Homo-oligomer: A and B are copies of this chain.
């Protein structure tokens, strides 16, 4: 199903559809329409139908989408049918918050290990995890075959950690450090920087 090339912008909308559908399911709903989904998300119904049609036939004219089956389809498209193990590097406020975050449950991810280079933090407990020494990061990740990681170290250390992760076999990095990373082709990086999001809005104020 992933053989045809789908624009990245469409791929980027699928997680939003998935989140809304899972929320509807929690509300006890079982059927929805592109109209209703669009209203929840501030996207047009036509856009949703067009996006989903890239991946095959979902739903029927007049009867709408079965929420359970659409969730399953999107999870398959996004490779979320099993949970990915995630390593967290950096155990400051953000690393701690993200390690304890319960919002990953049922969304395809589970934090399985955390690292820091600060001797005062190594060995400490965060939630159910013991902080491991970043010096062992490559060996530990490679042994456990971890392909997804989150960077929550200071900006000055982030690039070096990114290269360590890549050399450990990590393919997808979510970076909380406020700096752009240089990684080899084929490695995915996404960024979370609240100041960037805020600055984008103040232009309009």
Contacts and interface: CB of A to CB of B under 8 A. Distances in A.
Interface string A83-112: 010100000011011101101100111000
Contacts of A205: 79, 147-148, 171-172, 188
A120 interface: no
A108 B195 contact: yes
A20 B193 CA distance: 13
B155 A174 contact: no
A101 B194 contact: yes
Interface stretch (A28-36, A56-64, A131-139, A177-185): A177-185
B79 A202 contact: yes
- Copy tally for this chain in the complex stands at 2
Q: Which range contains the number of A residues in contact with the other chain?
A: 35 or more
A11 B86 contact: no
Interface in A147-205: 147-148, 150, 155, 171-172, 174, 178-180, 182, 188, 190-205
Contacts of A202: 78-80, 84, 108, 148, 172
A203 B2 contact: yes
Given A80-B202, A190-B201, 5 more contacts: A23-B155, A78-B200, A79-B205, A148-B202, A172-B204
15 contacts: A11-B203, A40-B180, A79-B203, A80-B202, A94-B97, A96-B97, A98-B194, A103-B178, A107-B195, A108-B198, A108-B202, A109-B195, A171-B201, A188-B201, A192-B194
